[in-house]
Amino acid sequence: MALSPPPDLLVIAASNGENLKLARRIAAQAEHQCHTAKVLDLTSLGLPLFTPVAKEAGMPDGVAPLHQQLIAATHWVICAPEYNGSIPPAFTSAVAWLSVQGDDFRSLFNGRPIAMASFSGGGGMGMSMSLRNQLSHLGAQVLGRQLMSNHAKPPKDESIRDLVHLLMQMQPLKL
């Protein structure tokens, strides 16, 4: 059986509610634009909260496959709700686990085109600012446009289309 090629776009959902639905819509739009796309639900990986004590117990089984999926896709969209004005714990903990699993953690992010999207009761701006800061610190190319939505302002198809189109025009930087 031949292995399928890695997706052009990995759409990462940092929650399994409205942001997972949004991730699926983004992936469908990418495929409509003739890109290959895959949705990754971080909450389905069962990663424990990262702590030094947890690290001493050993690397969780889900970290290596997560790393492989992230490194394989050239572009990412991160769909995350706002948790208390910041990044959700599923994403923060996944990044923490990835940071201790190998010698070159930043190679996951360096030069990688990444877009951000959120469906959040609080509007998502606190998460957006925190996530943009973190991704920039790690060396990613973060798309200036972002998609912020909630129940009062649901994500529009044309906004999703434009986000995917702009992101997929970006080229990964070779460092």
Whether 174 maps to a domain, the answer reads: no
Secondary structure class of 15 (helix, strand, coil): coil
Residue 4 domain flag: no
Q: Could you state, in chain order, the average pLDDT of each consecutive group of 10 residues for the chain (175 residues)?
A: 81 97 99 98 96 94 95 97 94 95 86 97 89 96 97 96 98 88
In a domain, 2, yes or no: no
1 within some domain: no
pTM of the shown model: 0.95
List, in sequence order, the alpha helices (H) in the chain. 18-32, 52-56, 63-72, 89-99, 125-137, 157-169
Q: What pLDDT does 67 receive?
A: 95
Q: CATH number of the domain that 14 lies in?
A: 3.40.50.360
114 phi/psi in degrees, rounded to 5: -135, 135
Is 154 inside any structural domain?
A: yes
Question: DSSP code of 16?
Answer: S
Q: How many domains does the chain have?
A: 1
Domain that holds residue 51: 9-169
In a domain, 3, yes or no: no
140 domain-assigned: yes
57 phi, psi to nearest 5 deg: -75, -15
Distance of CA 151 to the CA centre of its chain: 21
Residue 76 resides in a domain: yes
Q: Tokens 């889900």 map to which residue?
A: 62
> What is the model's pLDDT at position 102?
79
Side chain identity at 91, as an amino acid letter? F
Return the pLDDT at 101: 86
- Which residues contact residue 140 at a Cβ distance below 8 angstroms, ignoring those fewer than 6 apart? 109, 110, 111, 112, 113, 114
Measured CA angle at 51 (ends 75, 61), to 5 deg:
55
Q: Which residues pair with 143 in a beta bridge?
A: none
